[in-house]
Amino acid sequence: MPRVDPSRANPFRPGFGVSPRVLAGRDELLEEFDTALDEGPGSPLRSILVSGARGMGKTVILNELEEAARVRGWLIIRLPESGGILEELASTILPAQLAELDSERAVRRRVTGARVAGIGSLSTTAQERYEVRENAATLIARLLDVLAGHGTGVLFTLDELQAVDRESVAAFAALYQHLVRDERDVALAAAGLPVGVGQLLQHRGTTFLRRAERVQLGPLSDADVIDAVRRTVEGAGGEISADALAALAESVHGYPYLLQLAGYRAWRESAGGALTPAHVRATSRVVSQRMGRLVHEPALRDLPQAQHSYLVAMAQDDGPSSTGTVAARLGLTAQHANVFRARLIERELILPAGHGLVDYSLPYLRDHLRREAASS
Ligand SMILES: Nc1ncnc2c1ncn2[C@@H]1O[C@H](COP(=O)(O)OP(=O)(O)O)[C@@H](O)[C@H]1O
Ligand SMILES: [Mg+2]
């Protein structure tokens, strides 16, 4: 019986929240964050707010930022997406972290016989120590004291920011702001869908977050896609021609989720041989449809009718649309149409494409809207 070579297993990962085998692009942001961690408290890039469409790689970026902090010996605290953030921190997350740090230190002391500076305030057993409920601020301060002894700090991460209760985010923002003012070694990386993040920042209590570095996660360059696909395929013992790489980059449009999906499908089509343009072309129907179901439909679900109509009017064009023509198609004044245009740009569904032009920012959205129109 032929044995399946495990190294030839499909290396692409078309799922949400799944880190890729090979990360494409994003070097600049990661380098800046590295620098911010090394620079010490006060660096503005220590607070990062990532926004982007579904599948643009937000969760993956948070994972990478966590990794950057982890290799520096920082502690990572993932803030809960539901429930009260401060309550969860005070009741479970921080006590657990403190207890763990203490036991590590206890082990190390036993092994090395050395005394660790600053241990005095943490010298009884974990159980006794954390029976009395203390608030999040006190516990974080204590955690940071311990970490300061190692020259490290805490990175807080928060995913799906658009879905988190605003009051809860505001309460955490206030606490975080104090830590920054006190020049503690803290960093924060949060990610969410564009509109949700925008709305959250309108909230009174989150003013401070408005000063965080805003990163709008955009598409990858074709060169980055090609490089990542080649390394993914070759790293798994496969082969791909230059033509196939070019075809793949063209169908992916720089969209990370599609890179994984098209790569996965093309790999499967190739059935163990070298990947060719024909294998890539065979994926195109599935790629467009899957994109519609998993990305376009959710993105359009809560869209006000007028903005939806604007998108549909754009779908008559095969490339970027003239804003004047779209207004005329809708029977609107240029001024009125501009309101919808601005909202759609805010949602990162369209983007300016040169003077008086707009284009979709999600690949295959045109196809999706045309299919939708044809079936209704
Ligand atoms: N920089 C990247 N390079 C390669 N693949 C990526 C990259 N970023 C994300 N992906 C892939 O795209 C898909 C969606 O990523 P994810 O982070 O879950 O998106 P989001 O959180 O924005 O919805 C996953 O399959 C992931 O492996
Ligand atoms: Mg995500």
Q: What's the gap in Å between 18 CA and the centre of ligand 1?
A: 7
The reported pLDDT for the residue numbered 31 is: 95
Following DSSP, what letter does each residue of 131-149 receive, concatenated? SS---HHHHHHHHHHHHHT
Of 23-27, 103-107, 349-353, 354-358, the poorest mean pLDDT is in 103-107
pLDDT reported for residue 123: 39
Count of domains in the chain?
Answer: 3
- Over 60: is that where the pLDDT of 229 sits? yes
In tens, the pLDDT along 31-83 reads 999 999 999 898 989 999 999 989 999 999 999 999 999 999 999 999 999 88
pLDDT on residue 5 = 54
Q: Which domain holds residue 328?
A: 303-374
Q: What is the CATH number of the domain that holds 76?
A: 3.40.50.300
Residue 6 has pLDDT above 70, yes or no: no
* Ligand 1 pocket, residue 264 CB under 6 Å: no
Please work out whether the CB of residue 277 comes within 6 Å of at least one atom of ligand 1: no
Residues 37 and 184 in one domain: yes
Query: Do residues 354 and 256 share a domain?
Result: no
Q: Check whether residue 194 and residue 251 sit in a common domain.
A: no
101-132: pLDDT as tens digits: 877 766 665 555 444 444 433 434 444 455 55
Which residue, of 162, 197, 216, is where some domain finishes?
A: 216
Q: What is the mean pLDDT of residues 359-365?
A: 93
CA 171 to chain CA centroid, nearest Å:
23
Q: Are residues 155 and 68 in the same domain?
A: yes
The Å distance, Cα 146 to ligand 2 centre, comes to 32
| Amino acid 116: pLDDT | 45
Above 70 in pLDDT, residue 2?
no
Does 31 share its domain with 152? yes
Domain membership of residue 295 (yes or no) is no
What pLDDT, on a 0 to 100 scale, did the predictor assign at position 122?
43
Specify if 329 maps to a domain.
Answer: yes
Region 138-154: mean pLDDT is 93
Same domain, 141 and 58: yes
pLDDT score at 120:
38
**307 and 262, same domain (yes or no):** no
Same domain (yes/no): 66, 184: yes
pLDDT at 311 over 80: yes
SS3 12: coil
The per-residue pLDDT for range 152-203, each reduced to its tens digit, is 999 999 999 989 998 999 999 999 999 999 999 999 999 999 888 888 888 8
Q: What is the mean pLDDT of residues 135-144?
A: 94
Residue 237 scores a pLDDT above 60? yes
Answer yes or no: is the C-beta of 80 below 6 A from any ligand 1 atom. no
For the chain, what is the largest distance between any 2 Cα atoms, rounded to a whole number of angstroms? Answer: 81
Q: Clarify whether residues 147 and 228 are in a common domain.
A: no
Which ligand has the minimum distance to the alpha carbon of residue 264? Answer: 1
Locate all alpha helices (DSSP H) within the chain, ordered by sequence: 27-39, 58-71, 85-88, 94-112, 126-129, 136-148, 166-181, 194-202, 207-210, 222-235, 242-252, 256-270, 277-281, 284-291, 297-301, 305-314, 323-330, 334-346, 365-374
